[in-house]
Structure 1
């Protein structure tokens, strides 16, 4: 059984002055569904690490899941649930740009390729 940790990384650039509001909304509106899909929230980072009302912040949320089968299960569950897309759409007025990536530790890549 594959015990490698996979990291799902959401990077969201939010409009000036909205970082705190976005984080609160993310934790209340998005995070519960992600947890139900099997993800574990590892951390939320804010860059720059200050609240500046006139500048954007980048909010980086890192989720984890153990093994490729759990990652696939979470991904498929998210694709078949309209709630995540609806939540992101409801946040559009706060968002300048966003991306999602998936990563693992370098030593785990070989095992993750053996699917």
Structure 2
């Protein structure tokens, strides 16, 4: 089955922590994500300013070439204690976070036909 799958990490940082979070994410989390087959698409900062006294929302989009690749990445990442430990270590920088999975609208019908 084909159809690109996107993984979207949305992180609301604590006030003044956005730049440190992005730096840590790119330096420490991203290499392992790439090893799990993910391709970095975007790192978006909203609003587009490094606040010292307000929160920022960081939206990171990754792609994988297929649902199978997404499952393989998931099977590698979920049981890996270093992934959970990394998120625990950056916890003091984060107010809230979520992860979603998506596809383009034109791919959804094909992805549903399993």
TM bucket normalised to smaller: over 0.9
Contact 2:18 2:51 in 1 (8 A): no
Q: Which residue of 1 aligns with 2:75?
A: 76
Match of 1:95 in 2: 94
Deviation at 1:83, TM superposition (A): 1.1
Deviation at 1:16, TM superposition (A): 0.8
Q: Which residue of 2 aligns with 1:14?
A: 13
Cross-structure match for 2:33 = 34
Distance in 2 between residues matched to 1:82 and 1:114, nearest whole Å: 34
* TM-score normalised over the length of structure 2: 0.96
User: 1:25-68, CA deviations, whole angstroms, 9 ceiling, x for partnerless residues?
Assistant: 00111001100000000010000111221100001100000111
Structure 1, residues 46-93: CA drift from partner, whole Å, max 9, x if none?
A: 001112211000011000001111011001111121111110000110
SS at match of 2:7: strand
CA distance in structure 2 between the aligned counterparts of 1:30 and 1:104, rounded to whole angstroms? 23
> Runs of 4 or more off by more than 3 Å in structure 1?
none
TM-score (norm: length of structure 1):
0.95
Structure 2 unaligned blocks of 5 or more: none
Deviation of the 1:110 alpha carbon: 1.1
Aligned residues: 114
Distance in 1 between the 2:111 and 2:88 partners? 32
**Corresponding residue of 1:51:** 50
Secondary structure at the aligned position of 2:86 is classed as: helix
